């Protein structure tokens, strides 16, 4: 997302050339670039904070976590197998 945004900024800058008002437009683009970077940083922090309780639970009870994940995987596999089995018979 960040790379795409930076590419778009470069494209706009190259299209502007050296006409009048370029400085104001470049200043606006710089502001947008910094704003995007700040939002991505904030989003990364929010994701880390939301994942932290799960990490702590896994660290406290690793075998229970593995068992739960294994059970959920088996259940999902059975459900998917039944669903796909019905689809192939139709």
- Across the chain, which has 90 residues, the per-10-residue mean pLDDT values are 74 66 72 84 92 90 93 94 79
* Boundaries of domain holding 64: 2-89
For residues 58 and 65, the answer to whether their CB atoms sit within 8 Å is yes
Q: What is the pLDDT of residue 28?
A: 72
Q: What is the pLDDT of residue 70?
A: 95
Helices (H), the chain: 2-16, 22-60, 62-89
| Total number of domains in the chain | 1
Query: Which stretch of DSSP H or E encloses residue 13?
Result: helix 2-16
Q: What is the pLDDT of residue 29?
A: 76
């Amino acid at each position: 997302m960040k790379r795409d945004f930076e590419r778009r900024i470069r494209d706009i800058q190259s299209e502007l050339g050296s006409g009048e008002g370029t400085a104001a437009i470049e200043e606006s683009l710089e502001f947008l670039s910094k704003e995007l970077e700040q939002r991505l940083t904030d989003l990364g922090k929010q994701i880390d904070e939301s994942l932290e309780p799960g990490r702590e639970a896994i660290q406290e009870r690793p075998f229970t976590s593995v068992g739960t994940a294994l059970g959920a995987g088996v259940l999902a596999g059975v459900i998917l197998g039944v669903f796909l089995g019905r689809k192939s018979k139709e």
